[in-house]
Amino acid sequence: MKRFWDLLLSFIALLLLSPVFLITALLIVIDSKGPVFFCPLRVGRYNRDFKLYKFRTMQVENSTVKSNLTLGDSDPRITRIGKFLRKTKIDELPQLFNVLKGDISLVGPRPIMREFVEMDYEAYKPILAIRPGITSNASIFFRNEGKVLSQKADPEEYHRVVIMPKKIALNLRYVYHRTLWSDFRILLLTLYCTLTDKNYQSTWLLKEPLIDDEGDFFK
């Protein structure tokens, strides 16, 4: 049943959003040199690698920052149009093609880089048993992750020690308690947070507090 809704909703979304795709592609070409799409390898279901489709939001070459993490709008690699695409999540729209291919679902744990899986494979193992998704509780909760990381002295350490464990906890919660209704709720929350640029507090989203000492994610 979930696969049926994935196919139906993603197909409808692609039809309705086709003008957005064309305009976005044109703006990317005008704004900076490089391809329209960025297709990084990510880890999917059953620990298999696949290409994730995104609109390119970064310069093709920039040697000032080497991190795999994006540090919000202050990241010098992000293009002018890229800032807008990231803020509105338009850069994620090409992943609808990944949904049609069966690489991912509309809702599910966000696909991650291989290096993060190798840091703690046992923790990720249950998460990799299901299809990843375009959106999830974790992606809603950490939607301002780049901004938060840009304010830390050591972004990579903060991501590894603070953010990754909490993302894993959220994703495991989804894996063990997911329903068709919870998927629709996450989709609606994603639309609401994207259109209003608001965040939901963890106590409402999860029915329990997740971050006790970091209010950064709700600023």
pLDDT at 209: 43
Give the rounded distance of the alpha carbon of 107 from its chain centre: 11
HEC string of 139-167 equals HHHCCCHHHHHHCCCCHHHHHHHHHHHHH
Domain boundaries, the chain: 1-205
Closest CA to 79 of 11, 38, 28: 28
Torsion, Cα 12 15 16 18, to 10 degrees, reads 150
pTM attached to this predicted model: 0.86
Quote the crossing angle between the two packed helices 180-196 and 2-31, to the nearest 10°: 20
Q: Which residues have C-beta within 8 Å of that of residue 160, sequence separation ≥ 6?
A: 119
Q: For the chain of 219 residues, list the mean pLDDT of each consecutive stretch of 10.
A: 94 97 97 94 96 94 64 79 92 98 97 93 95 94 81 85 91 94 92 76 47 43
Residue 180 amino acid letter: L
pLDDT at 67: 66
pLDDT at 176: 95
3-state secondary structure (DSSP) of residue 89: coil
